Amino acid sequence: MMAGRTPEVLVVGLGPAGSRAAAAAAEAGRSVVAVDRRRAAGHPVQCAEFVPAMIGQELRALDSVIRQRIRAMATFVEDRPPDLWDNFPGHMIDRAAFDRSLVEAARQADADCRFGAQIEGFARDGTARLSDGGEIRPRLIVGADGPRSAVGRAAGRVNTELVETRQVTVPLNQPHEATNIFLSAEITGGYGWLFPKGDVANLGVGVVPSARTRLKPLLEDLHRRLAEEGRLGAEVLGHTGGAIPVGGLLEPRGRLGEVPVLLAGDAAGLANPVTGAGINAAVISGGLAGRAAADWLGGAAGALDDYAEEIEELFKGALDRAVARRREILRCYEDAPGPDAAALRRGWIAYPEYWAA
């Protein structure tokens, strides 16, 4: 691939953070090239596809990708009856269509969005090297390239703590409107989920990387149990997985040579370390990064510091709490069999203990 024009802004990654950054910078009149190593937007889907209802404040054109409404959350602690949180509004979306629509919006704003284009690394002066041998030397880089961000690594900002996941899509025998959360000492450093999406459900498990080999048996056990209860079909309609950053906020601005870098979304560690939810934060931070890039290019010298401050204001409190709660749970494994029911509840957002001082 030829580098084409030298853009003012290079956005790496066209997930929700990158698409929003590309759109925002291009809408402000800046020239933008955005690259993604995937062959097509949103494929493969690596997501359980739940978004909070408030994401509608950021994205007006959400309706076409919503597949069902969510009203509540049911939390199962070990094998006890579920606790219902009946005010948990959100949507199950078609994540591939969601990502595609955000890329389309960036293209409409005149961002040059390229797929099948992987960034291999950066020269000392900030020139990006593409896997096809091409180079791009922008004036500013937005790293929106996910949990294992190459941009972040080059700028010295690395998500050191991750959760590994495995998910299947399965038939849902009794459609309902509550996300189901399964907390257990067996699911180390993560949890199980069943998110209903019409007549199917996304059923998954996430754990600390050292327990990765347990993902398959844990997920199979959960699937078997729920199938025996008659809630799910035994068939597996699809598989996915992926990493989630769980170490909390990284410094979202840096530098490659003289070229400023802004990190957004998972690349900045914005996914929630307890719930794993990161779509909303990716959308918000991407938009802010794109606007900050445009403002800086327009001469606003403080725009990049303002971005870092705004990210901290918006996300740090919630992320710090989640990091602390997750660490409390992980400490329970140090000299004991693991967290008991009370510790599991304190580590989950549906319980008042989670929000206590």
Ligand X SMILES: Cc1cc2nc3c(=O)[nH]c(=O)nc-3n(C[C@H](O)[C@H](O)[C@H](O)COP(=O)(O)OP(=O)(O)OC[C@H]3O[C@@H](n4cnc5c(N)ncnc54)[C@H](O)[C@@H]3O)c2cc1C
The contact set with ligand X (CB under 6 A) reads 12-18, 35-38, 46-51, 118-119, 144-146, 150, 165, 167, 204, 241-242, 244, 265-267, 271, 276-280, 282
Select 118 or 127, whichever has its Cβ closest to ligand X.
Answer: 118
Select 56 or 241, whichever has its Cβ closest to ligand X.
Answer: 241
Least separation in angstroms between residue 285's CB and ligand X is: 8
CA-wise closest residue to 30 among 3, 5, 67, 59: 5
Least separation in angstroms between residue 106's CB and ligand X is: 12
CA-wise closest residue to 202 among 229, 159, 244, 166: 166
Q: How far apart are CA 309 and CA 147, in angstroms?
A: 21
Least separation in angstroms between residue 316's CB and ligand X is: 17
> Are the C-beta atoms of 169 and 202 separated by less than 8 Å?
yes
Q: What are phi and psi of 44, to 5 degrees?
A: -75, 155
Select 101 or 280, whichever has its Cβ closest to ligand X.
Answer: 280
Select 95 or 345, whichever has its Cβ closest to ligand X.
Answer: 95
- In single-letter form, the type of residue at position 200 comes to V
Least separation in angstroms between residue 342's CB and ligand X is: 27
Least separation in angstroms between residue 115's CB and ligand X is: 9
Spatial strand order of the sheet with 135-136 comes to: 119-122, 128-130, 135-136
> Are the C-beta atoms of 70 and 179 separated by less than 8 Å?
yes
Q: How far apart are CA 6 and CA 33, in angstroms?
A: 8
User: Residue 333, SS3?
Assistant: coil
CA-wise closest residue to 187 among 288, 78, 287: 78
Least separation in angstroms between residue 166's CB and ligand X is: 8
Q: How far apart are CA 163 and CA 208, in angstroms?
A: 5
Q: How far apart are CA 71 and CA 348, in angstroms?
A: 18
Select 42 or 347, whichever has its Cβ closest to ligand X.
Answer: 42
Select 117 or 294, whichever has its Cβ closest to ligand X.
Answer: 117
> Are the C-beta atoms of 58 and 145 separated by less than 8 Å?
no
User: Residue 320, SS3?
Assistant: helix
Select 140 or 343, whichever has its Cβ closest to ligand X.
Answer: 140
Select 148 or 332, whichever has its Cβ closest to ligand X.
Answer: 148
Least separation in angstroms between residue 228's CB and ligand X is: 24
Least separation in angstroms between residue 34's CB and ligand X is: 9
